[in-house]
Amino acid sequence: MGALSDKLRALEGIVGEEHLLTATEGVGEYRLEGQQPVGVVSPGTPEEVAAVLRAAAGFSVLLRGAGRHLHLGAPPTAVGLVVSLARLDRIVEYDAENLTITAQAGVTLEALQRAAGERGQMLPLDPPGGDGATLGGVVAANLAGTLRMRYGPPRDLTIGLRVALADGSLVKTGGKTVKNVAGYELTKLFVGSYGTLGAICEATVRLAPAPEARAVLAAALPPERARAMAGELLASRLDVTAVDVANEAGVKRARASLPLTIGPETRVVFVGLMGDRTAIDRQERDIRQMVGPGCARLEGEAAVAMWQGLRELPYPAGPEAVVARAAVPPARALDVLEMVTGWEGWWALARPGDGFVYAGPPAGFDRAETERKLASLRAMARESGGHVMLEAGPVDLKRSFPVWDEVGNLDLMRALKEAYDPARSLGCGRYLPGL
């Protein structure tokens, strides 16, 4: 106990008494899937983050932002210390001319969107879980939503990082403008590493001009017509922002209010449009020619609500909810959606432009049956050269069904872990085995 007390006193000396939580009732709020940390420390600067990681040697460390995406990953091994990055909430630099912004890890997407909006720009990141998520968490998990088809994921939008490594050193990667990309590959290494290689303290990301208007077109079509429609849209020269296809249960999950007749034998194709109103009107005319009668247009608040519903559809509705994400070649995305739709009560959302399909069972699902279906989904994805991740689910399901699918070069990933975190203190076992 003495050695533990010494470590906690060392952490208190770095961040101050008010930013170290050790009381049982307070720490209990940070329990994660049955694991309760010894303490929660909240550094306020990148230098403090580095000092905390250095002083935390011997602890298993879980990095935390707003906590919106802690359902991702395998059940943790013992969590010794939670390092909250929420106090790193400062926008460091805004370069409107070069469409980039540098912000600390704890800045929320909401704050970044507000700052960008004041200059007629936007941050093209819209992961499930809402804009209360932090930049650091979104970048660390490489999370993207409906805008991914046009703008790419965080790995494509992030051009520079400042990272605290497990040994207490601070490193910079990349640059602050799109043209200054020295070290860009190292930046990509940390994006999507789920906090297993270091703590992202700052990120420089690309912005985009804010659109004048947004609209969503929707059409309820038979499965084969929906498949053909999605293919035509993606192969056309139309500047569509997103193409989503949902089954009936998925539309209900998105809480969509549509002037369409939707049933078990229809699939709803959603087309997201962004830009000036004239361009949107022109594209709508072209899309209506493709679809024929029965194409509905949502704009204004209705379009915003629909866009938000599609964004949040893959987010787990509660701690027992199951969400699987299949990543397959884009041409196979609707095959996966049809397979899942054949399972009673299952919802599914396909993004054929990216090859992602999100799916899950209805409330009150049978765990054994769900596991069998997840195994079938994984087998189908593997046959097409893809994989399936169990994004969310009850702890007992996560322990019996591997959260992470097979990966290409596990030896290389373990070598990187050995180089950046040889003591394996970061991540608490929530990533792949040995990472």
pLDDT digits (tens, 9 = 90+) for 251-296: 999 988 898 999 999 999 999 999 999 999 999 999 999 988 889 9
Q: For domain 213-312, is the CATH number 3.40.309.10?
A: no
Please state the length of the chain. 435
**Cα 233 to Cα 360: distance, rounded to the nearest angstrom:** 26
Q: Kindly list the distances between the CA atom of residue 152 and the CA atoms of 143, 155, 171, 199, in Å, as whole numbers in the listed order.
A: 10, 8, 25, 23
Weakest-pLDDT range from 23-32, 307-316, 357-366: 23-32
For residue 158, name the pLDDT band (cuts at 50, 70, 90).
Answer: very high
323-400: CATH topology is Alpha-Beta Plaits (3.30.70)
Classify 119 as helix, strand or coil. coil
Q: Which two tokens stand for residue 209?
A: 């001009």
pLDDT for the residue 53: 98
Residue 434, pLDDT > 80, answer no
User: Which residues of the chain are in CATH 3.30.70.2190 domains?
Assistant: 213-312
**Cα 256 to Cα 334: distance, rounded to the nearest angstrom:** 20
Sheet arrangement for strand 199-206: 91-95, 100-104, 199-206, 158-164, 170-174
Does this model's pTM top 0.85? yes
User: Which residues of the chain are in CATH 3.30.465.10 domains?
Assistant: 91-209
Q: For domain 91-209, is the CATH number 3.30.465.10?
A: yes
Asked if 172 contacts 161 with a C-beta cutoff of 8 angstroms, the reply is yes
Q: Which CATH number fits domain 2-84: 3.50.50.60, 3.30.43.10, 3.20.20.70, 3.20.20.20?
A: 3.30.43.10
User: Which residues of the chain are in CATH 3.30.43.10 domains?
Assistant: 2-84
Which segments of 145-199 does DSSP mark as H helices, in order?
148-151, 154-157, 184-190
Residue 181, pLDDT > 90, answer no
Other Cβ atoms closer than 10 A to 420: 19
Q: Kindly state the average pLDDT of the residues 13-30.
A: 92
Bigger pLDDT: 1 or 236? Answer: 236
Q: Report the DSSP pairing between strands 170-174 and 295-299.
A: unpaired
Average pLDDT of the residues of the chain: 93
Q: Kindly list the distances between the CA atom of residue 419 and the CA atoms of 182, 362, 433, in Å, as whole numbers in the listed order.
A: 21, 43, 16
Q: Kindly list the distances between the CA atom of residue 199 and the CA atoms of 4, 64, 84, 190, 196, in Å, as whole numbers in the listed order.
A: 23, 9, 10, 9, 8
pLDDT digits (tens, 9 = 90+) for 184-236: 478 999 999 999 999 999 999 999 999 999 999 999 999 999 999 999 999 99
Classify 148 as helix, strand or coil. helix
User: Which residues of the chain are in CATH 3.30.70.100 domains?
Assistant: 323-400
Q: What is the 3-state secondary structure (H, E, C) of 324-390?
A: EEEECCHHHHHHHHHHHHCCCCCEEEEECCCCEEEEECCCCCCHHHHHHHHHHHHHHHHHCCCEEEE
Classify 256 as helix, strand or coil. coil
pLDDT digits (tens, 9 = 90+) for 104-133: 999 999 999 999 999 999 999 999 999 999
Residue 407, pLDDT > 80, answer no
Bigger pLDDT: 169 or 432? Answer: 169
Asked if 165 contacts 198 with a C-beta cutoff of 8 angstroms, the reply is yes
Residue 183, pLDDT > 80, answer no
